[in-house]
Structure 1
Amino acid sequence: MKTYRSRFMTTLIFLVTGVLLTLGIVLGQLFKDFYLDSERDRLKEDAQLAALYLEGGELDEIREYVGQIDDGSSFDILLLNSRMEVIAGTPFRVGSIDYKIDPSMVPEEGTFGEADEDELIQYTKPIELATGGTVYLTFIRYVSDLEGVYNRIWLTIALALFFSFFIILFVLQHLTNQFIRPIDEATIVLRELADGNYRARVYELRNDEETGSLAGSINVLARNLESISLGESVQRARLESLIEYMGAGLLLVDERGIVTLVNRSYREMFQYDDLSIGQFYHGILPSPEVETLIEDVYLTEEVHRRQLSIRTGFNQKTYMVSAAPIFSDTGMLRGTTLLFNDITELKRLEKMRKDFVANVSHELKTPLTSIRGFSETLLDGAKEVPELRDQFLDIIQKEATRMQMLVEDLLELSRLERDDFQMELVSVDLNQLVDEVCLLLSQKASKKSIQLEAKHEGTVVLQADLNRMKQVIMNLVANAINYSPEGSRVEIAVEAKADSYKLRVKDNGIGIAEKEVSRIFERFYRVDKARSRNSGGTGLGLAIVKHIIDLHHATIDVESEEGKGTTFTITFPRV
Structure 2
Amino acid sequence: MNPNKSIIFKLWLYMIILTVVTLLFSGLILSSVFEDFYFNIRQNEMINEGQQLITLILQGVEPLELLDISKFINAHAVVVDRQGLIKASSNILKFKGMAMDGKEFSEVLRGNIVIHKGLMPQFDAAMLTVALPIKTEGGVMGALILYSPMESIQNSIWQIRRLILLAAAGAVIMATALSFVLSKTVSRPLVEMKKVAEGMAKGDFEGRVSVSSQDEIGTLAKTINYLSDALKNNINALSQEKEQLKNVLLSMTDGVITFDADSRLIMANPQARDMLRVEMDDEGKEGFKVLYPLLDRVRETKKPLQEELKLDGRIISVRLAPLMDEGLNLWGMVAVLQDVTRARKLEHLRREFVGNVSHELRTPLSYLQGYTEALLDGMVEDPEEKKKYLNIILDETLRLRRMVNELLDLSQIESGHLHLKKEKISLKNLIERVVKKLTPLSQKKGIKISTEFEELPLVMADEDRIEQVMINLIDNAMRYDEGSGEIRIKARKSEGGVIVSVKDNGPGIPEDELPFIWERFYKVDKARTRKTGGTGLGLAIVKNIIEVHGGKVWAKNCAEGGTGFYFSLPEDTPE
TM-score normalised over the length of structure 2:
0.69
| Aligned with 1:31 (options 31, 34, 51) | 34
| Residue-by-residue CA offset, 1:509-557 (whole Å, 9 max, x unaligned) | xx53356897787757598668855xxx666445544555675346666
Q: Does 1:512 align with 2:471?
A: no
Q: Report the Cα distance in structure 1 between the residues aligned to 2:238 and 2:305, rounded to whole angstroms.
A: 32
| Counterpart code for 1:309 | K
Q: Does 1:117 align with 2:113?
A: no
Q: Does 1:157 align with 2:164?
A: yes
| Partner in structure 1 of residue 222 of structure 2 | 216
Distance 1:38 1:243, change over 3 A: same
**Aligned residue pairs: how many?**
544
**Runs of 5+ unmatched residues, structure 2:** 121-126
Q: Does 1:307 align with 2:308?
A: yes
| Partner in structure 1 of residue 238 of structure 2 | 232
Q: Report the Cα distance in structure 1 between the residues aligned to 2:78 and 2:289, rounded to whole angstroms.
A: 119
Q: Does 1:460 align with 2:456?
A: yes
CA displacement at 1:148 relative to structure 2: 1.1
CA displacement at 1:436 relative to structure 2: 3.9
| Partner in structure 1 of residue 124 of structure 2 | none
CA displacement at 1:149 relative to structure 2: 0.8
Q: Report the Cα distance in structure 1 between the residues aligned to 2:327 and 2:260, rounded to whole angstroms.
A: 16
Q: Does 1:144 align with 2:146?
A: no
Q: Report the Cα distance in structure 2 between the residues aligned to 1:194 and 1:501, rounded to whole angstroms.
A: 60
| Residue-by-residue CA offset, 1:46-99 (whole Å, 9 max, x unaligned) | 44555666775664xx6467558778x633345668874364524xx235x668
1:467-486 matches, cutoff 5 A: 467=463, 468-475=465-472
8 Å Cα contact 2:209/2:224 also seen in 1: no
| Partner in structure 1 of residue 352 of structure 2 | 355
Q: Report the Cα distance in structure 2 between the residues aligned to 1:374 and 1:143, rounded to whole angstroms.
A: 160
Deviates more, 1:428-437 or 1:48-57: 48-57
**Runs of 5+ unmatched residues, structure 1:** 129-133
Q: Report the Cα distance in structure 2 between the residues aligned to 1:136 and 1:538, rounded to whole angstroms.
A: 153
8 Å Cα contact 2:78/2:90 also seen in 1: yes
| Aligned with 2:275 (options 269, 277, 281) | 269
Distance 1:46 1:200, change over 3 A: farther
3-state SS, counterpart of residue 308 of structure 1: strand
| Counterpart code for 1:120 | L
8 Å Cα contact 1:298/1:325 also seen in 2: yes
1:263-412 matches, cutoff 5 A: 264-272=270-278, 285-286=289-290, 293-294=294-295, 296-297=297-298, 300-310=301-311, 312=312, 316-333=313-330, 337-371=334-368, 395-412=392-409
CA displacement at 1:349 relative to structure 2: 1.8
3-state SS, counterpart of residue 141 of structure 1: strand
3-state SS, counterpart of residue 213 of structure 2: coil
CA displacement at 1:36 relative to structure 2: 1.6
Percent identity for Structure 1 against Structure 2: 22
3-state SS, counterpart of residue 46 of structure 2: helix
8 Å Cα contact 2:257/2:336 also seen in 1: yes
CA RMSD of aligned residues (A): 5.7
Distance 1:247 1:530, change over 3 A: closer
Deviates more, 1:49-58 or 1:216-225: 49-58
3-state SS, counterpart of residue 117 of structure 1: strand
CA displacement at 1:270 relative to structure 2: 3.5
Q: Report the Cα distance in structure 1 between the residues aligned to 2:363 and 2:44, rounded to whole angstroms.
A: 152
| Residue-by-residue CA offset, 1:218-275 (whole Å, 9 max, x unaligned) | 4334433443344334434555665678544555666566666665444433444699
TM-score normalised over the length of structure 1:
0.69
3-state SS, counterpart of residue 30 of structure 2: helix
8 Å Cα contact 1:504/1:567 also seen in 2: no
Q: Report the Cα distance in structure 1 between the residues aligned to 2:205 and 2:486, rounded to whole angstroms.
A: 83
Distance 1:244 1:529, change over 3 A: closer
1:30-109 matches, cutoff 5 A: 30-49=33-52, 59=62, 63=64, 67=68, 74-78=74-78, 84-85=85-86, 87=88, 89-90=90-91, 93-94=92-93, 100-101=98-99, 105=105, 107=108
Distance 1:568 1:334, change over 3 A: closer
CA displacement at 1:100 relative to structure 2: 4.6
8 Å Cα contact 1:556/1:570 also seen in 2: yes
3-state SS, counterpart of residue 94 of structure 1: coil
CA displacement at 1:143 relative to structure 2: 1.2
| Residue-by-residue CA offset, 1:456-486 (whole Å, 9 max, x unaligned) | 7654224252513333444556678899999
Distance 1:430 1:338, change over 3 A: closer
| Counterpart code for 2:427 | L
Q: Report the Cα distance in structure 2 between the residues aligned to 1:164 and 1:430, rounded to whole angstroms.
A: 109
Deviates more, 1:406-415 or 1:392-401: 392-401
Q: Report the Cα distance in structure 2 between the residues aligned to 1:441 and 1:220, rounded to whole angstroms.
A: 83
Distance 1:451 1:223, change over 3 A: closer
Q: Report the Cα distance in structure 1 between the residues aligned to 2:21 and 2:395, rounded to whole angstroms.
A: 126
